[in-house]
Structure 1
């Protein structure tokens, strides 16, 4: 999509980066990304996707802003408490970059609506940090052949990866279900959550997503990055497709909420 003169001025610094140029910025402008979850991980992902000039961003979150979460959700302000995250995120993002179209969706991702949320998007980023939601979105993305990025932050530990992403040989990278044994190594359910670890993980996800959207080779496809921020360690895991898991996922399709262990919340009345 051709950039306007105002957009060329707004994005002149990223355009000046070697290898980017107007052409790559226009690719970002033509991209459509769905982000599920506008909380601790979703906030930095949304902020930098939008600020980078991704053309259309869907924001799916049914929750409201709470005071105790503000330390890891800096997109919001104190006067936003008890307001819906998706709506306030769209408003705050537009205030920084009015050239991106931000679409708030006050919905829970669930089996009954997931296939209504996906059409028209090029990529899904699941920032829910919620296993049942990861599984639901994974299965829907496998069914609809969509690339899927997700991750989690647990205190000092974090992980993120790219799943069902196209590979040079025409196949797709491993699904999230294929990688669960690795993701479990990074789970740490001790109390507490740090804002900075959420922020840096979200920004690293965005860097890789931008590279994918601009067709930069390599990146997240078939990779899972494990982070130990306390000891400043990064481990890169090469993912392989588990043929049995993939075949079962394709055959089963989208399961029921009970199968996923997903608690369904009432639809938001807005």
Structure 2
């Protein structure tokens, strides 16, 4: 197949040309997460001719993914995202290499997976993975392209890329994890389908600029986009004196670092799905669902008391609780806030938040 014809429209760009295309062919980019951000990033990087694309994801396609993860179709529901993505990306561009990693990234495998790549694109949707990826990139000296979305607003930035004697990382932006109870995910509050497409494509654009040397990457900057108001804000980042306080200093420290605990250390009363099942068998707990009434999925496996978080404080003010209480929501974040309110009003109550929410519990059954 004629390679020059495939890439003709970018080859004819002033300042791009054959040398830039050769750089793309030699480049290796790892995309973490084949979801809302990863899908568009992968599609455009494959189309552009990035020589090696790695994909890390262990999840399967669900119907609720399809409004924003346009790499997949209805017929792909239930299939592994990495396998579907690999097949479709090879069909898009058979001249490049796709390396699938059907694993959950953790501190035991991160350094081994990331070390072979030039640029890392973080398309994850949780803080523990973001901190892990950042720390691994710092230790390996890899450029990291960050993206995040929620509701109608998205963020993109480039970390660990030196410009003007400055090299910032994710911990300079967030030295400590944001309060999980006040930082809901898309599972909890939703996202406009086109937004991940825009941010993921922007991440791909940053990768192309870094690889080819064209333009000005968002090094040491954070760009925020609000689709409702058509607003764009660019923030200059600086080194944060607190950023290195808890960061692992070497590979051994990273292997020993507990990222889940680090990102949820303010919450000791988090109940695993397995422990929750044990409580269900004993039939000695009250389960409170703090989701709004119209949220899916519907729970039919056990009885719940519905007390939406928006009215939670007044709802529990006059209540008496005789059993252990388990609070749940969609993903385990709003339930943390509800648990905090519950313990404040009933300090002696034995209460827990269900880890991962009803979404994770249903996946495990």
TM-score normalised by L of structure 1: 0.88
- 2:15–2:214 CA contact under 8 A, matched in 1: no
Match of residue 72 from structure 2: 76
Q: Structure 1 residue 256 and structure 2 residue 252: aligned?
A: no
Report the CA distance between 1:244 and its aligned residue.
3.9
Report the CA distance between 1:160 and its aligned residue.
1.0
Q: Per-residue displacement from partner, 1:110-133 (whole Å, max 9, x unpaired)?
A: 011111111210011110121110
Report the CA distance between 1:188 and its aligned residue.
6.2
Q: Per-residue displacement from partner, 1:124-164 (whole Å, max 9, x unpaired)?
A: 11101211100001111111111111111101111111111
Match of residue 96 from structure 2: 100
Match of residue 10 from structure 2: 14
Q: Give the counterpart of 1:207 among 197, 202, 205.
A: 205
Match of residue 57 from structure 2: 61
**Distance in 1 of aligned mates of 2:260 and 2:92:** 40
Q: Give the counterpart of 2:189 among 188, 191, 216.
A: 191
- 1:155–1:188 CA contact under 8 A, matched in 2: no
**Distance in 2 of aligned mates of 1:20 and 1:247:** 41
Q: Which has the higher contact order (CA 8 A, sep 6+)?
A: 1
Match of residue 224 from structure 1: 222
Of residues 251-260 and 223-232 in structure 1, the stretch that sits farther from structure 2 once superposed is 251-260
Q: Structure 1 residue 149 and structure 2 residue 145: aligned?
A: yes
- 1:142–1:250 CA contact under 8 A, matched in 2: no
Structure 1: where are the runs of 5+ without partners?
A: 266-270
Match of residue 137 from structure 1: 133
Asked which structure has the greater CA Rg, the reply is: 2
SS at match of 1:76: coil
Match of residue 268 from structure 1: none
- 1:154–1:187 CA contact under 8 A, matched in 2: no
Structure 2: where are the runs of 5+ without partners?
A: 265-354, 361-365
Match of residue 105 from structure 2: 109
Q: 1:261 to 1:249 in 2, by over 3 A?
A: closer
Q: Give the counterpart of 1:240 among 232, 238, 241.
A: 238
Q: Structure 1 residue 42 and structure 2 residue 23: aligned?
A: no
Report the CA distance between 1:191 and its aligned residue.
2.3
SS at match of 1:246: coil
- 2:150–2:189 CA contact under 8 A, matched in 1: no
Q: Per-residue displacement from partner, 1:154-200 (whole Å, max 9, x unpaired)?
A: 0111111111113254x5x211011127x96x966562222111111
Q: Give the counterpart of 2:170 among 164, 167, 176.
A: 176
- 2:32–2:122 CA contact under 8 A, matched in 1: yes
**Distance in 1 of aligned mates of 2:3 and 2:25:** 10
How many positions carry a matched residue from both structures?
Answer: 259
- 1:40–1:72 CA contact under 8 A, matched in 2: yes
**Distance in 1 of aligned mates of 2:9 and 2:90:** 19
Of residues 50-59 and 215-224 in structure 1, the stretch that sits farther from structure 2 once superposed is 215-224
**Distance in 1 of aligned mates of 2:82 and 2:233:** 33
